[in-house]
Amino acid sequence: MKVLFVFEDQEYSSFFVYDLADGVNGLLRISPEIKIKKLSLGELYMQVPIEKFLVYFSAAFSLEVKKYLILKKADFLRGVKEAGLEDDGKMPVTVYKDFLAVKTGQSFAKGEQRLTLAEIDAYISYQIDPDGRIDVFERQEDIIRLMKRKTVRPRLSSITNNYGTVKEYAGSNLRLKDMLKLGTGYLAKGNARMNKTNIPEFGSFTVSDDFPYQLGNIDWRKNTIKLRSELVQ
């Protein structure tokens, strides 16, 4: 089963494809800046219904994805505010590298940090980092994982008990048995090692001359997952 998880933030939404076929955990992390002809993936997402986007997305990358789960970043941050912050209004976060956040211009230092809600927003907002890497996916996953530990009991019963809540607060076409399969794969093994691949892969793309960077040309021959050649601008 392949599930498209959208961490929605307008045209800078992040796209994750979970592949739980045969119990193997695979994760594709796909940049919203990838151009499909003249439109970026993020722009296309904002212009068409999710059902149509799934069709275009699947065809573009030769993947069969029929299930989706959408979490709006704004809703997620509200959840962080309500359940993720400690008494001082901050969340303890392990920052894995030094980087500059485009959204606020704030520098984050490697190590254990305590972040305010505004700092978390900047921390997980999509960008290409000053070192030319797209490591924001790792940061987004990390904060989502921290929130999962705070709010979801590590039992499959929590999936059945909270299924209606998932449907209410996140756009999804997952059925209960899909949620259970996702639970036995990714959710139940939340900290297990996964085969993670960024699209585009590091070393396969260029960026604009000046920071903040924009995604430039992509050499699809250097990527495990390829955009169909007729869609490359």
Q: What is the pLDDT along the chain (233 residues), one digit of tens a residue?
A: 789 999 999 999 999 998 876 666 789 999 999 999 899 999 999 999 999 999 999 999 999 999 898 999 999 999 899 989 999 999 999 999 999 999 999 999 999 999 999 999 999 999 999 999 999 999 999 998 888 777 655 454 444 454 444 444 457 787 655 665 555 444 444 455 678 999 999 999 999 999 999 999 999 999 999 999 999 97
**Dihedral (CA of 186, 205, 203, 122) sign:** negative
| pTM summary value | 0.87
Look at the alpha carbons of 56, 57, 59, 60 in this order and tell me if their dihedral is positive or negative: positive
Locate 188 and state its tokens.
């139940």
180 near 212, Cβ under 8 Å?
no
Give 91's Cβ-side CA count (13 Å radius): 26
Asked whether 211 and 130 are in contact (CB, 8 A), the reply is yes
